[in-house]
Amino acid sequence: MRIGEVAEKAGASVRALRHYEEQDLLHAFRPAASAITPTPPSAESD
């Protein structure tokens, strides 16, 4: 999820969220590369 999406859902501006992050009030969640799993191929075949 991108910061713009989070801001919209939270009813805050991107600038406000960046400010909170700079003040150590928010922390970005970035999963480890090993935690990302590929999307399985579609069950439909053409």
Of residues 6 and 32, more confidence is placed in 6
Q: Are 35 and 24 in contact (CB under 8 A)?
A: no
Taking 70 as the threshold, does the pLDDT of residue 45 lie above it? Answer: no
Taking 80 as the threshold, does the pLDDT of residue 8 lie above it? Answer: yes
What is the pLDDT, as a whole number, of residue 16? 96
pTM above 0.85, yes or no: no
Question: Percent of the chain beyond pLDDT 90?
Answer: 48
pLDDT band at 36 (very low <50, low <70, confident <90, very high): low
What is the pLDDT, as a whole number, of residue 27? 85
Q: How many Å apart are CA 20 and CA 13, to the nearest integer?
A: 11
